[in-house]
């Protein structure tokens, strides 16, 4: 029969492409080792056929590569093909679905489905040869002709790898023959030009990367290795995974792209130098299919792998990539599996499957030969009658055959139902007017199914919605499984959580952490970080040239803290102005409010001194008032002495304004009072000095100085000098008066309340003016120091001003080198010291004479000279 019977309206424009491809593959030489017909181990002509009104063809990867059990280890090169028990479940799911549909009188009434199963893979050569056998019905191929008897085939099911589906899809697309792929979602198979009639049963893993990264964040793993199959699907997954990792600050420790090739010499064999072994990452994400050479890569290393936390998908069949003993390196693997409903009757069906029930199933016979020691006839390649009824697949350990429906089997199951619902819709709506009956059997041209199939939506028997529209990104839930691998036959996959991408962030991942079984003997959650967490009080310092997850921990700067244990504390937090950091830099402590208080020992001492010396000054004033008629008091101008003593009393008392909690009033009064009273005191000293000089000058009869002394002119010096100081202070108050300042920086653990001078220039103008008066008084007194002993007050004034100037000259550098309340104490001490200098140097000698050494005073009429001894 000519192949033109399968052609579609646009097949002519693709004929050249078809012939080119066929010519190419017909020239391929198939390795002899893949087709050992003598012992019936593998035969490319093997197929299973179940007749029906309409037949679904399936190309399944029923064979896989295995390493020889006699040459274990990474150096093993003895690799052969054998039946893949896990993948045989695909064939069982197909049979189960067809039988279930045929028993349903409502879905396809008066119509039966059949199936034909052909092998696909594990090499491209085997896949193409098997497809040509299906296409032509012969092992000897004649291009563009077919002799096959399956004229009622309406759809093809292919999988699980991209290699198989795309290779077959290239041919089936020429005829618009419906093809349903049950492998993992492949983005490049959505191309409607290249694959016009290909439909993927698996939904796109739009949230797989987010789910895996959410798991990393949950367990605080930030140092993760990647082992990805080097194909478009793997590259696409990495392009989604790495940005998601970067957004969540999870670093890629290493990235190994394993080439999808069957040239085993190209697969990495130096396991000891592999990043999987050498890198410090304890968590590794595996993304790929075990049906390809990617799986062989792991099976050849299974004996030397160190223990790691493997995070993978259900496409990675963990049972074929590990050894089955308690210390297996894959124990504790975390598996992301797309959530789907359970087909409860499938397990019951598996229990009934035996070679006696399906005698034409050569694949089932080979499975029985492996696990139940049943020999297969080399002549007919059929199971022997005497053993076909023995055994049951449910007896096998889970790692040989799992009776629970896998993800791939679930997609095969849905693919059969998708075809059935398409046929049902075509029959019920009678959309195909050209359908003809041949012997009571309804048949449709396969290409006509596409119009309905591409938009089909239905609910399968488990209640799950199924759609084949590839343009929709459907958010699906993931079940997170934990692989427990104990001694032979006790392995188990436990559901330990779910990931629901449509839930709000923070609620998407749900884990039952108490159910997770890590490596044997490990009870706590493993750690996979490049650098250990920075403890409280430290911040992260990145290491130059390394990933952001690799860092050093540095102590927070002064007055900054970090009280968390997170890895990503790049900057410490500065304490508020009223708090300070403790020594460990872990918390901010409230600063104590302090000032030069009366309760403070220093404040108490200074206040006591001020009161004592003000009292002493008042006492001296009382002594002078009581003995005002004595020659000592009279000779020193008692009026000026009274003014000086009163001003000194106020000088002592004004220091009390500097002690206690400052406020606006005291801040203004302390500086103004200090400036004014000291101006009065110093100007009085100046007046006394000038008076002494004038008194000496008038001893010569007829001098005009006598008039100045008699008129009391020196006394006017006091108000004049005081008024000048008052003007300076007034300008100070008018421009920038003193104010209360909260000093949070002078002392680490204290807030000091001080009076800010306001205008520093005005403050130094006040001090400068006092300094000028002091220097003037000292100069005049110094020049008058050689006066006769009868008037010895000049020496006292000279010494007092020397003490006064010394105190304030010393005050300036000390004042500027201190801060806070110490600075205030320095100013108070300077006020007291200078006042004591004036009081002691001028008045104490006189009081000593008045009180302790009363003398006989004789007055000699020698002009206006007063003499005492």
What are the tens digits of pLDDT across the range 31-56?
A: 333 333 333 445 666 788 888 888 99
Residue 723 clears pLDDT 70, i.e. is over it: yes
pLDDT: which is higher, 654 or 637: 654
Count other Cβ atoms within 10 Å, centred on residue 619: 13
pLDDT at 849 over 50: yes
- In contact, 811 and 827? CB cutoff 8 Å: yes
Strand boundaries in 9-166, DSSP class E: 47-50, 54-60, 63-67, 79-83, 113-119, 153-158
pLDDT score at 324: 44
For residue 418, the model assigns a pLDDT of 93
- pLDDT category of residue 295 using cuts at 50, 70 and 90: low
The answer on pLDDT for 583 being more than 80 is: yes
Q: Give the pair of three-digit tokens for residue 708.
A: 């100045």
Instruction: Say whether pLDDT at 691 is over 60.
Output: yes
pLDDT at 714 over 70: no
Mean local confidence (pLDDT), 280-296: 72
Mean pLDDT for 249-273 is 66
H-run or E-run covering 426: helix 407-429
**Mean pLDDT over residues 213-227, rounded?**
91
The set of residues, in sequence order, having a beta carbon less than 8 Å from that of 246 and lying 6+ positions away, is: none
Q: CA-CA distance, 342 to 806, in Å (whole number)?
A: 100
Residue 35: predicted pLDDT: 38
For the stretch 544-548, contacts whose Cβ atoms lie closer than 8 Å and that sit 24 or more positions apart, written own/partner, are 547/251, 547/252, 547/253, 548/249, 548/251
Q: What are 863's two structure tokens?
A: 């002009």
**3-class secondary-structure state, position 442:** strand
Helix axes 760-783 and 664-697, enclosed angle (nearest 10): 20
What is the maximum alpha-carbon separation in the chain? 172
How do residues 379-427 score in pLDDT, each as one tens digit? Answer: 455 555 555 556 778 777 766 777 888 888 899 999 999 999 999 888 8
Position 369 scores a pLDDT of 79
- Residues 78 and 403: their CA atoms lie apart, in Å, by 30
Locus of tokens 């063809």:
57
Q: Which residue has the higher pLDDT, 345 or 147?
A: 345
| φ, ψ of residue 747 in degrees (nearest 5) | -125, 140
Mean pLDDT for 60-89 is: 65
* Residue owning tokens 């002509």: 45
What's the Cα-to-Cα distance from 611 to each of 40, 381, 605, 649, 651, rounded to whole Å?
A: 120, 123, 10, 9, 11
pLDDT at position 211: 92
List of domains in the chain: 3-71+80-204+342-467 (3.40.50.2300), 219-336+475-515 (3.40.50.2300), 538-590 (no CATH), 601-852 (1.20.1070.10)
The pLDDT > 90 percentage for the chain reads 11
Residue 115: which pLDDT band, with cuts at 50, 70 and 90? Answer: very high
Instruction: Examine the pLDDT at 77 and tell me if it is beyond 50.
Output: no
Mean pLDDT of 436-449: 66
Cα Rg of the chain, angstroms:
53
**pLDDT at residue 435 greater than cutoff 60:** no
Residue 567 confidence (pLDDT): 54
Task: Give the pLDDT of residue 99.
Answer: 93
Peptide bond into 122 cis (omega under 30): yes
The predicted pLDDT at position 305 comes to 57
Give the pLDDT of residue 292.
54
Peptide bond into 88 cis (omega under 30): no
Question: What is each CA distance from 794 to 777, 837, 841, 855, in whole angstroms?
Answer: 11, 15, 11, 21
Which among 590, 592, 605, 541 has a CA at the least distance from the CA of 568? 541
Instruction: Determine which of 4-13, 275-284, 352-361, 562-571 has the lowest per-residue pLDDT on average.
Output: 4-13
pLDDT of 801 strictly over 70: yes
CA dist 667 and 258 (Å) reads: 79
pLDDT for the residue numbered 141: 58
pLDDT, position 306: 64
* Residue 11: per-residue pLDDT: 41
Q: What is the mean pLDDT of residues 724-736?
A: 89
- Predicted model pTM: 0.65
Q: Which helix (H) or strand (E) holds 21?
A: helix 15-26
CB atoms within 10 A of CB 809: 11
Share of the chain above pLDDT 70, in %: 74
Q: Quick one: which of 115, 110, 130 has its CA closest to 44?
A: 130
Nearest to 771 by CA among 834, 692, 717, 841: 834
**Residue with the larger pLDDT of the pair 177 and 149:** 177
Estimate the crossing angle of helix 638-654 against helix 820-852, to 10 degrees.
Answer: 150
* pLDDT of residue 660 exceeding 50: yes
């Amino acid at each position: 029969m000519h192949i033109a019977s399968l052609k579609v309206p646009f097949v002519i424009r693709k004929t050249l492409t078809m012939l080119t491809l066929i010519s190419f593959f017909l020239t391929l030489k198939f390795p002899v080792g893949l087709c050992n017909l003598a012992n019936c181990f593998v035969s490319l002509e093997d197929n299973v056929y179940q007749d029906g009104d309409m037949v679904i063809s399936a190309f399944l990867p029923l064979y896989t590569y295995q390493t020889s059990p006699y040459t274990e280890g990474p150096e093993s090169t003895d690799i052969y093909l054998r039946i893949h028990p896990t993948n045989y479940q695909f064939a069982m799911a197909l049979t189960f679905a067809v039988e279930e549909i045929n028993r349903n009188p409502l879905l396809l009434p008066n119509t039966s489905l059949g199936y034909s199963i052909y092998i696909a893979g594990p090499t491209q050569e085997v896949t193409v040869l098997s497809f040509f056998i299906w296409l032509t019905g012969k092992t000897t191929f004649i291009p563009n002709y077919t002799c096959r008897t399956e004229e009622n085939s309406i759809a093809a099911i292919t999988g699980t790898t991209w290699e198989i589906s795309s290779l077959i899809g290239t041919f089936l697309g020429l005829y618009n023959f419906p093809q349903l792929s049950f492998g993992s979602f492949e983005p490049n198979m959505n191309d409607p030009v290249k694959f016009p009639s290909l439909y993927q049963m698996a939904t796109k893993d739009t949230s797989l990367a987010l789910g895996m990264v959410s798991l990393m964040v949950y367990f605080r793993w930030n140092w993760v290795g990647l082992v990805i199959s080097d194909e478009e699907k793997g590259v696409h997954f990495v392009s989604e995974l790495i940005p998601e990792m970067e957004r969540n600050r999870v670093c890629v420790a290493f990235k190994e792209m394993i080439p999808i090739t069957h040239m085993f010499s190209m697969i990495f064999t130096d396991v000891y130098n592999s990043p999987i072994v050498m890198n410090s990452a304890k968590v590794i994400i595996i993304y790929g299919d075990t049906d390809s050479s990617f799986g062989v890569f792991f099976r050849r290393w299974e004996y030397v792998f160190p223990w790691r936390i493997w995070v993978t998908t259900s496409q990675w069949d963990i049972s074929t990539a590990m050894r089955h003993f308690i210390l297996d390196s894959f124990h504790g693997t975390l598996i992301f599996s797309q959530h789907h409903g359970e087909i409860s009757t499938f397990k019951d069906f598996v229990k009934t499957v035996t070679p006696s029930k399906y005698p034409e199933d050569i694949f089932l016979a080979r499975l029985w030969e492996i696990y139940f020691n049943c020999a297969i006839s080399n002549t007919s390649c059929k199971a022997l009658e005497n053993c076909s009824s023995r055994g049951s697949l449910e007896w096998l350990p889970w790692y040989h055959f799992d009776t629970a429906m896998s993800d791939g089997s679930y997609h095969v199951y849905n693919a059969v139902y998708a075809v059935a619902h398409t046929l049902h819709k075509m029959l019920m709506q009678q959309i195909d007017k050209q359908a003809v009956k041949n012997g009571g059997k309804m048949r449709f041209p396969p290409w006509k199914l596409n119009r309905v199939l591409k938009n089909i939506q239905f609910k399968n028997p488990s209640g799950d919605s199924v759609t084949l529209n590839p343009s929709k990104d459907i958010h699906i839930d993931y079940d997170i499984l934990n692989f427990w691998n104990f001694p032979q036959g006790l392995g188990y996959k436990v559901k330990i959580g779910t990931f629901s991408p449509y839930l709000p962030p923070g609620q998407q991942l749900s884990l039952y952490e108490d159910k997770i079984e890590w490596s044997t003997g490990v009870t706590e959650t493993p750690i996979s970080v490049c650098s250990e967490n920075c403890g409280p009080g430290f911040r992260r310092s990145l290491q130059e040239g390394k990933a952001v997850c690799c860092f050093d921990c540095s102590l927070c700067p002064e007055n900054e803290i970090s009280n968390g244990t997170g890895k990503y504390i790049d900057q410490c937090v500065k304490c508020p102005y009223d708090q300070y950091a403790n020594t460990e830099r872990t918390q901010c402590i409230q600063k104590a409010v302090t000032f030069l208080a009366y309760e403070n020992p220093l404040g108490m001492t200074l206040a006591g001194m001020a009161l004592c010396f003000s009292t002493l000054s008042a006492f001296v004033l009382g002594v002078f008032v009581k003995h005002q008629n004595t020659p000592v008091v009279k000779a020193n101008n008692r009026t000026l002495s009274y003014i000086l003593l009163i001003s000194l009393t106020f000088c002592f008392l004004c220091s009390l304004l500097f002690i206690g909690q400052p406020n606006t009033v005291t801040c203004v009064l302390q500086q103004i009072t200090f400036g004014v009273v000291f101006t009065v005191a110093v100007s009085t000293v100046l007046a006394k000095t000038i008076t002494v000089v004038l008194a000496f000058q008038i001893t010569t009869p007829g001098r005009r100085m006598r008039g100045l002394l008699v008129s009391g002119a020196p006394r006017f010096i006091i108000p004049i000098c005081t008024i000048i100081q008052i003007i300076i202070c007034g300008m100070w108050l008018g421009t920038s008066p003193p104010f209360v300042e909260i000093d949070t920086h002078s002392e680490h653990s204290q807030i000091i309340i001080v009076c800010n001078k306001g205008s520093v220039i005005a403050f130094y103008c006040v001090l400068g003016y006092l300094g000028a008066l002091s220097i003037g008084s000292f100069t005049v007194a110094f020049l008058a120091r050689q006066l006769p002993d009868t008037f010895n007050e000049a020496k006292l004034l000279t010494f007092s001003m020397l003490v006064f100037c010394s105190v304030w000259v010393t005050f300036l550098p000390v004042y500027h080198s201190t801060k806070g309340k110490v600075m205030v104490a320095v100013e108070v001490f300077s006020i007291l010291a200078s006042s004591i200098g004036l009081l002691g140097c001028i008045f104490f000698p006189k009081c000593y004479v008045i009180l302790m050494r009363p003398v006989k005073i004789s007055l000699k009429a020698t002009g206006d000279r007063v003499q005492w001894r």
